[in-house]
Amino acid sequence: MYCRLVRTERRTEPSGQAGSRDDPETTTTTAGAHAAVSRRMVSIAIGIALLVSCSSTETSSVADTAPDQATYTIDAGDTLSGIAARAGVSVADLVTANDWPEGIDHLLLPGDVIELPLGSSIVPAGPSPATTNARPAPDSKATSAGYEPSGTLSVPSFIENQKSDPILDPLPDGQYWSWDYTSDDERVSFTLVQYFFGDACREQFGDAEDACASDNNTLSSPSTTMPLAAAAATSVIACCDDGRFTSYRVSTKEFARLVEGLAPAPDAPEGFTFARYGVIVTVRNGQAIAADQVFTS
C-alpha cells in the first residue's frame, strides 16, 4: 500500500465583524494567525497518523502473506522417494524437514502427517482422462507392488525396552509380535503374542541355557488375532548370499499374495523369495495399520 500526505492550507476569514472596538486590526490579524497555525498543526497531525497507519498496514500485509510450511498425510503404499518426487525435493530434504533420527528408515504409517520442505507442495494425484480406461501391460509400473528398499531392519529399531507390548483385552495401541500369519489373497490375519530379546528375555525366562538360546523368546499365551487393515503399510525381508538382509516396502495386496504363497510381482528384486520371518504389527484404534518383517537370529 502506498500513502501520500498532501498538506493544504486554506485561508478563511472569521465570520461577523473583522475587528473589535478596542483594536480591530490587531485583533483580526492575531486571531487569523492563531487559526491558521491551528489548522496547519491539525493537518500535520492527521497526516502523521495516516502515514503510521499505512506503514502498519503494509507491514501486517507482508507478515500475513509469509509462506507456511506445507504438510502431507500419508496414504497406504506411499514411499519416501515417491513423496519426494511428487514434491520436487530430495529424500534428504524430506528427512531434514521432519528431523527423523532414523533418517530414510523412518516408518511411514497411513494417516501420519509429515512436513514438506519450505516452498514445496504436493498436488493430489488424479487419473488422466486419456488413460483412465487403459489396461496396463503385465510388467508395467502401474501394477507396481512396491519393493522399494527401506534399509536393513532389526528388532531394536522397532521395539523399546527389548520387548513388544503385552497382549491385553481390549488391545491398546502399540507394537506386537507375530510368528503365525495367514492370508486369503485379500487380507492377512496375525496371531499376536509378546516377544522378548536380550536382557528382557533373560529377565522373563531366566538364565537357563535353552531359555533364550538365540537371545530371544516368545510368550505364546495370552495371544489374540488381528486382521491387517486394507490400507496398511507393509514390508518384507529379502536375504542375499552374503547374509545381509534388506527390507522392502510392498503394497498391502502384494504382502497378502506373498503370505498366501503366490509368486512375487514382476517388479520384485531379481531372485527374491518370500520367507516367513517374524513380523512387528503396529496397532492403532483397534486396527493393524502396519506389518513389518524383521530378522531375528
Domain ranges in the chain are: 1-7+29-64, 67-122, 145-297
- State the burial class of residue 168 (Cβ atoms within 10 Å of its Cβ: 0-12, 13-18, 19+): exposed
Q: Grid coordinates standing for 211?
A: 531359555
Instruction: Report how far residue 83's alpha carbon sits from residue 103's, in angstroms, rounded to the nearest whole number.
Output: 15
Q: What is the mean pLDDT of the chain?
A: 73
pLDDT-derived band at 201, boundaries 50, 70, 90: very high
Among the listed ranges 28-42, 161-175, 179-193, 254-268, which one has the minimum average pLDDT value?
A: 28-42
Residue 203 has pLDDT above 50, yes or no: yes
Residue 256 has pLDDT above 80, yes or no: yes
pLDDT at 151: 61
Instruction: Report how far residue 140's alpha carbon sits from residue 65's, in angstroms, rounded to the nearest whole number.
Output: 43
Q: Which fold has domain 67-122?
A: Membrane-bound Lytic Murein Transglycosylase D; Chain A (3.10.350)
pLDDT at 67: 56
Instruction: Report how far residue 115's alpha carbon sits from residue 245's, in angstroms, rounded to the nearest whole number.
Output: 30
pLDDT-derived band at 76, boundaries 50, 70, 90: low
